A and B are shown apart, each in its own frame.
Chain A
Amino acid sequence: MITVAIGKGRMQESALALLARAGIRLNDGVNSRRLALMDETQQYRFIFVKPADVPVYVEHGIADCGIVGRDVLLESEADLLLPLDLGISRCRVVVAAADPQAMTNVQGMIRVATKYAQIARAHFGARGIPVEIIQLSGSVELAPALGLADMIVDLVETGVTLRENGLTVVEEIAESTGRLVVNRASYQLKSDEVGRLVKVLEAVIG
């Protein structure tokens, strides 16, 4: 048996749909409040945790595998194997601002509000643009309107939320999709089980 950590929320539904297509079905309702769920064949145990915690559980080997967005992986420094791009929950990490010319128009230090402090720091740092990073944990798109920041670095799926808040995409930093991640020790020590999961998922993502 191997343990698979799945990020709650956005990713969860598409991950479970993909697993079902690969013939891996959960025993219990997804809405169950139980901490861990087994699949019908008892080969896999699923745990549902906050997306940012998926790399943590997998790196420690508490979970052997995980399904998590690339945005979360870019933000974490976890040392993991990334065998499959599952192609689910496709979205982009972008820089957005009210003024499309913000990058050149802002005077002095640019203030950037984001949930992705590492990604933002790396993105601006690589080009030598000095920025002040303001770490938020949600509703980042409100920050420019309220005067907290000049721009935001955030995840965009359709762009509707950005438009509703009067923001436009200034730059795209990275594309993000759901990834299968694997613990380095599990990859060697449970190679048969991990290999089987990789194989069945690979078959359905085509």
Chain B
Amino acid sequence: MRYYIGAEARLRRTVEDVAMSVFQAWNYEEVITPSVDYYDLFEQGMGQREAQRGFRFTDNDGRLLALRPDVTSSVARMAATLLSERPRPLRFCYAAPVFRQQTQSHAEWRRENTQLGCELIGTGGKPADLEVLRLAAEILSRLNLQSHYCITINNVEIFNGVAAHLELEDRAREQLRRLIDTRETAELQRFLKDYPDAQAFSQPSQLTGKRNVIQAARNSITNTRSLAALDSLEDLWAEIESLGFENSFEIDLGDVSSLDYYTGLSLKIFVHGAGASVGRGGRYDGLTGSFGRAEPAVGFVLNLDALTEVLARNIGQER
């Protein structure tokens, strides 16, 4: 629960306007989705674990409703149903509040967050991935955060390939994922000592960096699924380098926080002054299929409230 008054509200509005104008300059159409929808939609869109964080209540006829915990689910359904005949690719953007129950955890106490987001649906591969990365970078530099931000990129298929190759059961796979996510070096080494193929993940400090990270991973990874993902990540990195963006980007093979959702690229956005990531996104080719029309899709969201807070503090410090 948060009020914005006067100058703060103006700043927040400016941030929103900057993002929306960048989206629109890249031909992203604004879309406004329902704030309240059937809970089933979000479970289909986000998976049960995430959707359950939504606030749920029943309609007159007993059907379960939810305050939208994300916008992507609604956009994906819209693309697969209402707009199934429209020529591809589809480009949509939005600025909309989402509502999620929070754990007691302290940094994420907000139940309501406004997402500035975009979705690029119906086109896959490197050009689409690169387009959304460039969009994110452009918004951040237009907000004068140039050289104050870092976008980490990963391809979730690198982990998935290793886990499949090791034939890990669900519980062991989840344990490995958690250890990588929290970078628990000693436990990781204990877990992986019987798996020479997964040594790439045993040194968390070698999971983040620039191009050298991919080289290091290739030294121990042998399965074809992971290698293909490493190739496409390296291709994407080469494009980032050729745009001269490599100082603002980083590869993080340890970003395995939402494997069940993303199917390729995953990204996180960090800004100096914010204690947690201010944005995230990735490729989710599996999503529209669950609404009846499978096609590639990629997108990201920025957290308007977190960005406003950082910018308000920066302005305060300049005075």
Contacts and interface: CB of A to CB of B under 8 A. Distances in A.
A101 B208 CA distance: 50
B129 interface: no
Nearest to B152: A188
A189 B272 contact: yes
Contacts of B252: 188
B105 A82 contact: no
A191 B276 CA distance: 15
Given A77-B105, A82-B184, A185-B270, A61 B250 contact: no
A84 B185 contact: yes
A56 to B, nearest CB: 5
A62 interface: yes
A59 B183 contact: no
- A: interface residue count bin: 20 to 34
A181 B252 CA distance: 18
A62 B108 contact: no
A184 interface: yes
A80 B276 CA distance: 10
A198 interface: yes
Contact of A195 (B107, B182, B205, B250): B205
B275 A60 contact: yes
A82 B107 contact: no
Nearest to A179: B184
A189 B105 contact: no
A78 interface: yes
Interface residues of B, number: 29
Contacts, number: 75
Contact of A79 (B108, B185, B204, B268): B108
A8 B45 CA distance: 45
Contacts of A81: 182-183
A188 B204 contact: no
A85 B186 contact: yes
A68 to B, nearest CB: 14
Contacts of A191: 208-209, 250
Interface string B207-226: 01100000000000000000
Contacts of A56: 106
A176 interface: no
Contacts of A85: 184-187
A187 B271 CA distance: 12
B183 A83 contact: yes
B186 A84 contact: yes
The interface residues of chain A, by DSSP majority, are classed as mixed
Nearest to B149: A189
A83 B187 CA distance: 9
Interface in A164-189: 182-185, 187-189
B265 interface: no
Nearest to B187: A85
A92 B125 CA distance: 51
A50 to B, nearest CB: 14
A83 B204 contact: yes
Given A83-B204, A185-B275, A77 B185 contact: no
B104 interface: yes
A188 B106 contact: no
Interface in B192-210: 204-205, 208-209
B150 interface: yes
A62 B104 contact: no
Contacts of A184: 270, 275-277
Given A79-B107, A84-B186, A188 B208 contact: yes
Contact of A59 (B107, B205, B271): B107
Given A184-B277, A199-B205, 8 more contacts: A61-B107, A62-B275, A79-B105, A83-B184, A182-B183, A184-B276, A187-B183, A188-B252
30 contacts: A59-B106, A59-B107, A59-B276, A60-B106, A61-B274, A77-B104, A77-B105, A78-B106, A78-B107, A80-B182, A81-B182, A81-B183, A83-B184, A83-B185, A83-B204, A84-B186, A85-B187, A184-B270, A184-B277, A185-B270, A185-B271, A185-B274, A188-B152, A188-B250, A189-B150, A189-B270, A189-B271, A191-B209, A191-B250, A202-B185
8 nearest A-B pairs in the assembled complex, by CB-CB distance? A61-B275, A77-B105, A60-B275, A59-B107, A85-B186, A83-B183, A81-B183, A185-B270
